[in-house]
Amino acid sequence: MDSQKRVFASLIVFIMTQLLHIFWLADGDEYSDWFADIADKESDRKMIVKQIEKVLHVLAIGSKVFLAKEVAWPDG
C-alpha cells in the first residue's frame, strides 16, 4: 500500500508541475509587473520570468522522471 501512496503522490506532483509550467508558458510575461520591486527595468523583469520558466521546466522534467521511476520500480 505504501508504494501505491508514493505513486499517487508522484502523480499529483507531476500533474501540478505540468499545469504550472504550461500556465507559466502561456501567461508568464503578463506577471512581470510582480517583480517591479526588485527589478526596475522591463528587461530585468523579463529575465526573471524566463528564469522562473526554466526552473518550472526542470521541475516538470524531474516530476516525470520520478513518476516513471515509481511506476516502473515501486519498491526500489
**pLDDT by residue (tens digit) across 2-51?**
878 888 888 899 899 999 888 888 887 777 777 778 888 888 888 888 89
Neighbours of 70 (CB within 10 A): 20
pTM score: 0.74
- 76: pLDDT confidence band, cut at 50, 70 and 90? low
Q: How far is CA 9 from the centre of its chain?
A: 15
The yes-or-no verdict on residue 71 having pLDDT over 70 is yes
Q: Which residue has cell 526596475?
A: 40
